[in-house]
Structure 1
Amino acid sequence: MTFSAALSGTPSDRVRALLRRRPSALWRRFLAAGLALLAAVTGFWPDVGHPVVVAARDVPPGVPLTGSDLRLATFPAPVSGSFAAVSDLAGRRLNEATRAGVPVTDLALASPSADTAAVAVHLPEHGLAGVIRVGDHVDVVSGEGEVLAENVPVREARGRVVLLQLPRIHANRVAATSLDLPLAVTLR
């Protein structure tokens, strides 16, 4: 088939004719150099990753978050429910304690409209005080065996006193009951 026949045929005939021809040595070298350059560029291309807000230090629950509590990190894959800017979390509160370096997600945050209060509970025995840690969840029980609050996060633990983060309605009830009866907590 001649060159003029390749140009005058149908488009599929023209493609077949061009594919049957062997590329010149110069063309093959140019193609090889281009592929090598492409491989080199993609091999050294920086992986920009995905920005994720993580805890800069161990953060207890219920405390308003500040810029010093958080930092921006880069993860190789997106983290579901995460935030890309520290400013998105300023003033928000965590439901439970978070370790340094752990991504802060929407599930870890307390509801922005939550009307909560902190209540100090004096534990009757010193042995249990050494077991309860920040971030644990407890139930508050009165001396008469009545459950006053359930699944309450421990905000702080110092000796025989634990600071609990409760919805305001439960906080008032726990505080009022503690004036007349001893309170106990049970670990979940």
Structure 2
Amino acid sequence: MTLSPTLPDRFRSLLRRGVPVVWRRFLALGLVLVALSTFFWPDVGHPAVVATRDLPAGVPLGAADVRVASLSSAVAGSFSSPEVVVGRALAGPARAGVPLTDFDLSVPADLASVAVRVADQELASVVRVENRVDVVSPTGEVLASDAFVRETRGQVVVLTLPRGNAARVAAASLDHALAVTLR
């Protein structure tokens, strides 16, 4: 009787004999360890723009002032790209390593934020932060178009829009609840 030197023949002979119980248990233990390690595997993180050093309020941000860091959980209103914040000024001081959010950045000089009471409660519950809306007076006049929703609280919506329109919207909202249309 001669032994076959080819690898496929050796493999077939091993399959005919069967895999020993010890190897099957070792394989099962290995699969359990792989499953446990993937269950406890850390999250890859959520990118967020953070300050590289302590920054004072009112200073325009430069590329060296911010970097992208990976956080364990998402931060509401944070930015994932530094290009969005470079050139904008901080509304208040920022600590090094702390994520920058939309509320940390000041509104550009040509824009203003206005709180508006929305006439339709159901519509107010649909409006979300970062939506774009048009503001309509009770008489049907469009007071502002393409306003950015900065914050929502019940029936009140904080909008960021050009200064000229902001004054008209603020004056109209003193007397009446206003309508908004989603874009």
TM-score range, shorter chain: 0.3 to 0.5
Q: What TM-score do the two structures reach when normalised by structure 1? A: 0.46
The alignment's TM-score, normalised by the length of structure 2, stands at 0.47
Give 1 or 2 for the bigger CA radius of gyration: 1
